[in-house]
Amino acid sequence: MHLKIEGLTKSFDGKEVLRGVDLEVPAGQLCVIVGASGTGKSVLLKHLVGLLKPDAGRILVDDKDIVPLSENQLMEVRRRFGMIFQSAGLLQSLTLGQNVGLVLEEIHGRPAEEVRRVVAEKLAMVGLEGREDQSPSTLSGGQRKRAAIARALTTDMDCLLYDEPTAGLDPIIASTVDEVIRDVNRRTGATTIVVTHDLASIFAVAEMVHMLHEGRCIFSGTPEEMRASTNERVREFLAREIALAGK
């Protein structure tokens, strides 16, 4: 899936959150969107799947602008996206296998045998093979994040959106989640967008980095270009995150 955002603006109660965002993500690329809290990262993700409508601008999905689409038309677009939330969002009343297969069974009405096969395949992709009968409460934080990735993969999405996937995890566990994100991108070829402020994750997974500041994209480049950037805001962001990581 090729994504292109042009001049995106959005205000809430008169406060501008997005002030003309321009960025592009080629099909299959793994990119990271960074920026301080309140710069519009999560708001931008919600626009990509049509959960929010911009005040102005275009969102091109494979060269088709989704902004004018009706709610019914947007449902078709949303089926091409998988979103992994910060909380993982697993239902404690269901087993791990039931959580991962929920969309296939309840929404798509797939036969039980097919659901079991797909669930086993996707759990194996994220290193959780054979755990279908486990309760989510018995999983570690990193395992819950990986389970959420498996659930998003069950319908073979064209684009995966990760919202702070390593938040709240210790560095070792976070690195395993980063490895899964890279591996899933490589094996599926799905366009992948990761929203994070975790410097280790940025430099571990990103092919391209986009930085938001005050509602605009002020930097787009490779991780190496970000390290070498002379942009004052980029330097401040890197210095602040390094300082926070050292505490």
Q: What is the pLDDT along the chain (247 residues), one digit of tens a residue?
A: 999 999 999 999 989 999 999 999 999 999 999 988 778 888 999 999 999 999 999 999 999 999 999 999 998 899 899 888 766 677 888 898 888 888 777 666 678 888 888 889 889 988 888 888 888 888 888 888 888 888 888 877 899 999 888 887 788 888 888 998 999 999 889 999 999 888 888 999 999 999 999 999 999 999 999 999 999 999 988 887 777 665 5
Q: Are 4 and 60 within 8 A, CB to CB?
A: yes
Of 91, 77, 105, 78, nearest in space to 144 by CA: 91
Q: Are 155 and 5 within 8 A, CB to CB?
A: no
Backbone angles phi, psi at 209, to 5 degrees: -120, 135
Amino acid letter, residue 193: I
Q: Say which residues have a Cβ less than 8 Å from residue 131's Cβ, sequence separation at least 6.
A: 96, 97, 123
Question: How far lies 41's CA from each of 35, 108, 111, 137, 216, in Å?
Answer: 7, 30, 38, 29, 10
Q: Which two tokens stand for residue 167?
A: 């938040």
Q: Which two tokens stand for residue 83?
A: 């979103």
Four-CA torsion 103, 146, 27, 21, nearest 10 degrees: 90
> What is residue 153's predicted lDDT score, i.e. its pLDDT?
84
- Cα separation, 163 vs 161, in Å, equals 7
β-pair type (3-12, 56-61): antiparallel
Mapped onto helix, strand or coil, the DSSP state of residue 59 is: strand
* Tally of CB atoms within 10 A around 6: 15
> What is residue 109's predicted lDDT score, i.e. its pLDDT?
67
